[in-house]
Amino acid sequence: MSTKKHKILMIGPVPPQIGGLETFMADLLASDLSSYVDLVHLNNTKPAVHRRAKYKAPDGYAASFRRNVFLSAISYSYSVWFFFKFLFLLTFWHFDIIHIHTVDYTSFWEKCPFILAARFRRIAVVLHIHAASFDAFYRDSSPRIKKWIRYFLKICNRLIVLSASWGKFFSGIVGPEKICVVPNGIDLRPFKIDSVPRQKAVLFLGEISRRKGIDDFLHAVALVQSLGHSFIYHIVGPGEIDRAQQIARGLGLGDGLTFWGPLTGVDKNRLLLSSSCFVLPSHAEGLPISILEAFACGLAVISTRVGGIPELIVEEENGFLLQPGDVASLAKCIVRIMTENKLARRMAEKNLKLAGELYDINKCARSIDQIYCRMLGMDPK
């Protein structure tokens, strides 16, 4: 590995904003990466947006396009401020690589001035794409907008994507030579498997939105209950909480189902460690951090065949994979995991092993440093 051989400016959001990207960024910044390189972080978290989301039962990213003019003005004002901070850093510091983290839609366009400024200064750019819906973003754009998307992707020196399936998608736009596949990683230290007693509990952890499959999950819970099974259900995350609670009431879901809102740290980890089954029936994904956290806590996982998730889960080995919207199969899989103890235990043991072998954040950090070294003509050790 390189040791303080190159200077990296990394741009991305961190907590207290809640989300998979923010969790990943916090873990990466605390990883071994800072021992390999001289790392400077430009935090582009938007505090005003965070405060609104925290205190007003947030709509989350799923409804961000419906936000009012005032909130949009605040958001874009922060983007301009972050760009000026970026220009200041470029003026007074020397960087070998600019590493930019982005998702899709507005987030992508907000990063384009950073890409242009860096390339104007002849600084190499790594664009780290965490998007769940970049394919839809690109597919649904007009021919002129697609041309601009391709332009900004192509002037980056490398694109880091989260899975082989996303690598194939972006290779079709920029060619395979710029694509680097680096799966997400997490800090495994907070998850101590024997620290919390297990319950017969099913956990949904993620943004409360249609994209994450909250509607499907609630209807599956109603179906499970209609079959006479009584389990505990935890729903954790920001998003369209009021709408989801209204659906739950309409389905007659009362005792045993709890909406916790957004949780972090010890509170979130306690629910992960005390549950028996993790469910994320998403309709679009990158490579969910929440599934990796479920692995680290020894949970059997039920999810869908979207994004990079099929590269995490082997059917019947460490979880179940469904088609998005298949409520009947989702209910059936919940019942199987919650009633077949040997199956659940086998899946849990497999996921614990995978977490340690493949998804430790320090393994991710080493892969990223190797990309830096190759870009700068150094030998990655």
- Predicted confidence at residue 64, as pLDDT, reads 40
- Predicted confidence at residue 46, as pLDDT, reads 84
- Predicted confidence at residue 165, as pLDDT, reads 97
Q: Do 125 and 218 fall into the same domain?
A: no
Would you give the DSSP letter of residue 310? Answer: G
Element (H, E) at 100: strand 97-102
- Predicted confidence at residue 255, as pLDDT, reads 84
Q: Do 93 and 205 fall into the same domain?
A: no
- Torsion angle, CA of 300/240/256/227, rounded to 10 degrees? -70
Q: Do 244 and 170 fall into the same domain?
A: no
- Predicted confidence at residue 238, as pLDDT, reads 93
- Predicted confidence at residue 72, as pLDDT, reads 61
Q: Do 365 and 353 fall into the same domain?
A: no
Strands 257-261 and 124-129: unpaired
Domain-embedded: residue 2: no
Domain-embedded: residue 76: yes
20-29 helix and 289-296 helix, angle to the nearest 10 degrees:
60
pLDDT values of the chain reduced to their tens digit, one per residue, 381 residues: 445 579 999 999 999 888 999 999 999 999 999 999 999 999 999 874 444 343 333 333 334 444 455 556 777 888 999 999 999 999 999 999 999 999 999 999 999 999 999 999 999 999 999 999 999 999 999 999 999 999 999 999 999 999 999 999 999 999 999 999 999 999 999 997 666 778 999 999 999 999 999 999 999 999 999 999 999 999 999 999 999 999 999 999 988 999 999 999 999 999 999 999 999 999 999 999 999 999 999 999 999 999 999 999 999 999 999 999 999 999 999 999 999 999 999 999 999 999 999 999 999 999 999 999 999 988 766
Q: Do 133 and 162 fall into the same domain?
A: yes
Domain-embedded: residue 192: no
- Predicted confidence at residue 365, as pLDDT, reads 98
Name the token pair of 13: 């959001």
Q: Tell me which residue of 96, 98, 89, 53 sits closest to 71, measured CA to CA.
A: 53
Instruction: List the beta bridge partners of residue 124.
Output: 97
Q: Do 254 and 216 fall into the same domain?
A: yes
- Torsion angle, CA of 226/228/230/236, rounded to 10 degrees? -20
Q: Do 206 and 169 fall into the same domain?
A: no
CA distance 183 to 160: 9
Domain-embedded: residue 195: no
Are 296 and 228 within 8 A, CB to CB? no
Q: Do 241 and 370 fall into the same domain?
A: no
User: Which CATH number goes with the domain that contains 256?
Assistant: 3.40.50.2000
Q: Do 65 and 98 fall into the same domain?
A: yes
Identify residue 203 by its one-letter amino acid code. L
Contacting residues for 375 by C-beta, under 8 A, at least 6 apart:
97, 124, 126, 157, 158
Domain-embedded: residue 194: no
From the CB of residue 96, how many other CB atoms can be counted at a distance below 10 Å?
16
Q: Tell me which residue of 347, 313, 294, 307 sits closest to 212, measured CA to CA.
A: 307
Q: Do 205 and 346 fall into the same domain?
A: yes
How many separate domains does the chain show? 2
Domain-embedded: residue 190: no
Q: Do 54 and 167 fall into the same domain?
A: yes
Task: Please write down the HEC assignment for all residues of 61-72.
Answer: HHHHHHCCHHHH
Q: Do 276 and 151 fall into the same domain?
A: no
CA distance 155 to 116: 8
Range of the domain at 312: 201-358
